[in-house]
Structure 1
Amino acid sequence: MAITDILFLAAVATVGSEPPLPPDIPPNAVFYTQEDVKRYRFPKPYLPPEAKAAKVDADAVVACEVNTNGRMKRCAVVIENPPGMGFGKAGGYPVFEEC
């Protein structure tokens, strides 16, 4: 058996046998490429008035559903650090304003 035959057999053995998804990713999850993401509209950056007045930097994680038109809906604040400065709401602005 030649080296090319061994490589071919190895390639055939791996076709269709994708590794399983990590347990926290649902099996019906949809994955997007960088080209797909370019067509979605993202909100402009927004600094909460509370944080601007206090000259505070912070971060937030906001989870949103995105429809096929690229509009975000049903957003929820997952993490806000430091809490109470409005960064969670700012992460979803203006989506939260529309809801």
Structure 2
Amino acid sequence: MRMADLAGEILPRWTAESPGGGPIIRDTGQVAELIALGRMVAVLPESVGCHLGRDLVAIPVEGRRTTLLAAWSEDRRDRALAGFIRSAAETAAMRSAHRRPAS
């Protein structure tokens, strides 16, 4: 499937300022519920798609890349945060390398 295949579908909005006419999502629990009710479709990261529930199906969207951002207060210097960021960066790098087509 490609993003163009979703033209005309109702997609969620994460803020009132987001484009489109889909429902505004307040928390991730609403996403699966609204999809199951037939009120929308959603383009989600693979990590979310595999936890949608038994009655829902995730279909890969060709060429779609998800960017994950992490933000924290500049005055935080604790080891727990550093460990989390290091682990997230290593996991992202590993997943990215795994998806690259063979040359």
TM-score, reference length from structure 2: 0.27
Greater per-residue strand proportion = 1
Greater per-residue helix proportion = 2
User: Which has more radius of gyration?
Assistant: 1
TM-score, reference length from structure 1: 0.28
